[in-house]
Each structure stands twice: as structure tokens, then as C-alpha cells.
Amino acid sequence: MAMSSDDKVLTIGDRLELFVKDIWNREGVPTISLSGLALTLSVALITWGAAVFADEQEAAEPVQIGDRLELFVDTHLVKSMDNTELRLRRPHPATASGGPSGAYMTVIRDGDRFLGYYRAVAPDYDGPRRDGHPGERTCVVKSADGIHWETPDLGTEEDMGYPNVLRDIEPPRTHNFSPFLDTRDGVSHNERFKAVAGVRRGAGVHVFGSPDGLTWHLLSDEPVFRGGNLDSQNVAFWSETEGRYELYYRKHNRPRTVDRIVSECLLDWEHEPVAEPNLDGREHLYTTQTHPYFRAPHIYIALPTRYTHGQIGGEEVSGNIGSTDIMLMSKRAGADAYERTFDEAFIRPGPDPGRWGSRNNFMALNVVPTGPAEMSIYHRDGTRYVLRTDGFASVYGPPEGGELVTRPVVFKGRELVLNLATAVRGGVRVELQDADGVPIPGFTLDDCPAIIGDSVGHVVAWRNGSDVGELAGRPVRLRFELRDADIYSYQFRQ
């Protein structure tokens, strides 16, 4: 499990090494006296102690979670783990019929319909294929369930090459047209849908609006932003938690990284950098596909395409080519950094040789629900991938048992609901503790019969029932005991 640079705590040795480097010149001659060195070492010890104390204080501060759903995609609420681990859960391919397939895809659920957007190339175009060329088209498909799709007739086949091309979106803005459903309170019906589009620094980012996701109009004649390398899929959304719009775009080309601008009105943006997860020398991040998770909008899910330079199918190659796979990252609303909890690939290229070619693995923006206990994401080749609801990752306990204890949290609600799965001979028990870790009478492990089964919404019950309302509003710790079991998420609710 990887730890972000912001989470790293320097040891005494680390801190002393930094101080020694500061006081020793390049010729190996000390630049201060021995008495100065002693003073410096004392300062190092004090600094280290203060850092540890600050970390412990932060961990002890209760977190206001209210009735939010919490996922195990990061360690934000974890105090300790004993013989348990966070495990990445990979999606599996499922059948799809006529779904979106192409470059820079977006899938949106709007009530009882799904819209899938993708970039295509006019069938009769034979000109140069540079970014934003005149043959690029933004197309849309529709679905009632996110599984079976149909192509709407927008009356564009004769002049645009396909019947489902979005009108009023001219190249180069068709290169990376990226829509989102604007969930801001009070948004105009005529602009329920928004989109950002544009290619490269010179063209800049344009903003569009739409009442239905099919007919679009420009919201500003001039680009609202010209920074960064904008030829990737730039993604935007309204953050309910932060009360503002956020747009994530490609920051640099070597290596390819991501940055962010923010706005309260979409037409007036300001730069607010986002810290990168640690990348090795050959890694680049193409599309990040950052978006609020639909069941927990305070957690942003990212499905970046990770490009490994100079390698295809395990073979070292020369030139500007390499292979790609899909990662899982997350980011808490209000945080200035992504969490890279898992370094392994979320979706591997797989057995198809074509998937191992240069830049061949990209996922659509958004994870969407496609069943009572299922959610889907879509690959550019048309494959639909399926995950258990909340099933990005889990905390796992082995058959001999293990535990996870959370930081103190303050909740509201009357019952605790778990998304879990156990083996026949496994089980989960839950204990509620006070802020100091003392078990609360009536809610101890011994009071909790083992939960055995598989459910995305199991209500925890102790011997005296499931009502935890008497503890709402005060700091508590959750102690999970797991035996051959996984917990994907938890939530307090009414």
C-alpha cells in the first residue's frame, strides 16, 4: 500500500541526515562549530518530536462524517490495522451491446436514461490526423440501462457522416468534448448539462451548455482558460462538498501530469495546483477521469491511463511509444493531493495483443450504477467492465482473523450499514468505542453476533438491537473484526 508524500513521517535518522547535509559543505568540511552542531542536533530532535506530536494530534481529532458513505480506497479514516490489509478489487468484463466506443469517452446517467459520448472520425475524411483535424466528430449513443445501447438519429448523417453527431460543435473543439451533468442547486434548465472542450494551449478551453445533452450552445465566445497542454480529455464537475466547479487538465508533456483550476461561475477560473502521486521515471498520466463518486460525492474517483514509456508488452523499445494500463486513484474533496493507495494496475491490457499497443487503454469518464448491486465503467474499445457497488477496494481479514480500527468519527443516524462479503466459515463483528478506544457497553464485540453472508447494505445489530442513535453526535471509533471477509464501505443512516 503506497503512501502519499504528504503522509510521510520522517524518522530521527532522516531529519538528522538533512541537518548534517545542511551544515557540511561540498568539500566535506563542517561549516559550524561542534557547539553549533550540538545545538543543531537538539533542534533536529525537537523538530522530529513536534512533527510526531502533530501527526498524533491530527489522528486523534474526530472527523465529522455525518451520514456519508465511506469507502476503503484510502487510509483517511484508518487509525490502525492488525493482520488486515486494503485490497484493490479489479472489475471484470461483461457483455455490452452497441455502447460508446472511441476516443475521450464520457458516460452520464440522467434519471432513467444513459448517454454515452465519444469521438469519431468522419468515414470519408482522408486528410491529416493532427489533433483537432476537420474530420473529428463528437457522437452520442443512448441507453435505458447502461447495458443495451441505441444510436439516435440527430439528422446529421448526410453532412457529418454519422446520424448521431452533436451539432454546433466545430473542430477543434470536437477533439476532446467532455460533458457533465451540472448538479448545482438552482442551475438553469437550459444548462443542466455542461461541457468543456478545446485542444492545446492556443485554442484554449471552451464551455458549452445544454438542456438535454443532445443540443448544445456556447456559453462564451472566448476561451475561459488557455494554460497547460489541453489536448487530453479535460474533465470538469460541480463539487457539492466544496461548492465550486473543478477542472482537471494535463499540466505538462514530459512527464504528462495533471493540474487543476477552480471556479464558482464556470467562466472565471483560477489556478489551484493539485499535488501529484509519486511517479517513477517512465510513468506518465494521460486522462485522469477524475469525478465525484455517485454514492459518496465527497470522494473523487480517478481512473487515469498510466503510460509507461519505452515498453510494449514487456519488451524494451525505442522511440516515443509505450504501453498503457488503467490505475485507481482517489482524492478527498478539499484535499490538495491524490491518494495513490494502490500501485498495481486496476485494469490490465489483457490477452488481446491490440491492447498492448501504444496508448490503447483509456476508460470513459464516470462510474455509473447499472444494477441494484452493480456499477459499470467503459473501455474505449466498447468493453463494459463491472464492479460490485462500492467495490473499488476492500479491507480484508484472513481466516485466522484481523482487525481494523478507525479514527474517532462523529456520525448522525440510527443504524450502521455495511457493504460486506464473507466466506461460509468467516464473519464480521463490529465494536463501537469511545474516543479513547474504550468499548461502549452494549456495543462490544461480544455483544455483536458474527455477520455471515454477502450484502451491499447489511444493517449491523448487537444483542440489544441495531439502534445507535444514542451515540450520534459524539466521537466514536469503529473496530471491525474480520475472518475471511471483506468490507467495502460503511455508512450511518436514519
CATH number of 61-88+394-493: 2.60.120.260
- Burial-class residue 481 by CB neighbours within 10 Å (0-12, 13-18, 19+): buried
Report pLDDT for 56.
54
Report pLDDT for 269.
95
Are 466 and 416 a contacting pair, CB within 8 Å?
A: yes
Closest C-alpha to 5, from 328, 335, 343, 277: 277
How far apart CA 10 and CA 16 sit, in angstroms, is 10
> pTM of this prediction?
0.87
Are 171 and 109 a contacting pair, CB within 8 Å?
A: no
| Residue 114, beta-bridge partner list | 109, 143
Report pLDDT for 43.
47
Are 85 and 395 a contacting pair, CB within 8 Å?
A: yes
Report pLDDT for 200.
75
Per-residue pLDDT tens over the stretch 430-482: 999 999 999 999 999 999 999 999 999 999 999 999 999 999 999 999 999 99
Report pLDDT for 313.
67
Q: Write out residues in the chain with pLDDT < 50, as ranges.
A: 1-34, 37, 39-41, 43-48, 50-54
Residue in the structure block whose three cell numbers are 468534448: 177
Are 165 and 156 a contacting pair, CB within 8 Å?
A: yes
SS3 258: strand
Report pLDDT for 7.
36
How far apart CA 265 and CA 337 sit, in angstroms, is 23
Per-residue pLDDT tens over the stretch 355-383: 988 889 999 999 999 999 999 999 999 99
SS3 298: strand
CATH number of 92-389: 2.115.10.20
